[in-house]
Amino acid sequence: MAWPRAFRDPELERLALVHRSAGRRNNERLEFFGDALIGAVVSEMLIERFPRADEGALTRMRSSLVRESALAAIARRYGFGDRLELGPGELKTGGHRRDSILADAVEAMAAAVYLDGGFEALREVLRVWFSPPLAELDLHAGKDAKTRLQEWLQARQLPLPEYAVLEELGEEHCREFRVRCTLNEPALAREGLGSSRRGAEQAAAESILEALDGQG
């Protein structure tokens, strides 16, 4: 995908892609600054899209958008890895493909855009970067199935679910649990399997949520 803007100062763009392994003059300071800039603009985008979301939901969604793997995906989309300047050791070990290095480059590039063109230029670029993953988010981002089920019931002032272990299978090193999740109102029960009790509870809760969704 084509890079969304041209730099007035090409040296800033180059510096954003210089890893610390390549020399003393590198992108670490830009990375530090870019982390804060990305957080501010992504927060603005979330508040615009989810005007009724509370702080906890907004925080979870922001975390999912700016986590290392998400930033690395942006770097790959724009071919940052192919342009990285790395030291011999990082070159040998494939540093241009490593999520941590790619994510740092995205943060550094955000700072470079800001220093080159100001906040409006930064906002324009970050909206291009983050609009696709933002469009896939919903208010449940980051919440597990048990939490979502509990919130669904509490919002309707209904009794909380009950979880019961029905069976434990397998040897100690490969244990599998079968758990039933039961609702009193509406009357509903589903089972889930997992390698831990918690995992089985999550699976059962997810099955309950799917059933509730099917009921409209």
- Annotated catalytic residues are 35, 107
Q: Which of 94, 116, 135 is the last residue of a domain?
A: 135
Model pLDDT, residue 8 = 92
Domain enclosing residue 14, as ranges = 10-135
- Kindly tell me if the per-residue pLDDT of 165 is higher than 90: yes
| Rounded Cα gap, residues 43 and 49, in angstroms | 10
Q: How confident is the model at residue 139 (pLDDT cuts 50, 70, 90)?
A: low
Residue scoring higher pLDDT (95 or 117):
117
Q: Within a domain: residue 98?
A: yes
What is the rounded average pLDDT of the residues 132-152? 77
Same-domain pairing of 123 and 50: yes
Q: Within a domain: residue 36?
A: yes
Q: For residues 50-75, b (16+ Cβ closer than 10 Å) or e, as one string?
A: beebeeebbebbbebbbeeebbbbbb
Model pLDDT, residue 159 = 93
Same-domain pairing of 114 and 151: no
For the chain, the domain total comes to 2
Residue scoring higher pLDDT (60 or 161):
161
Same-domain pairing of 26 and 121: yes
Is 201 among the annotated ligand-binding positions? no
Is 168 among the annotated ligand-binding positions? no
Is 85 among the annotated ligand-binding positions? no
The pTM for the full model equals 0.65
Among 10-19, 43-52, 84-93, name the most confident range. 10-19
Confirm if 60 and 133 have CB atoms less than 8 A apart: no
Model pLDDT, residue 152 = 87
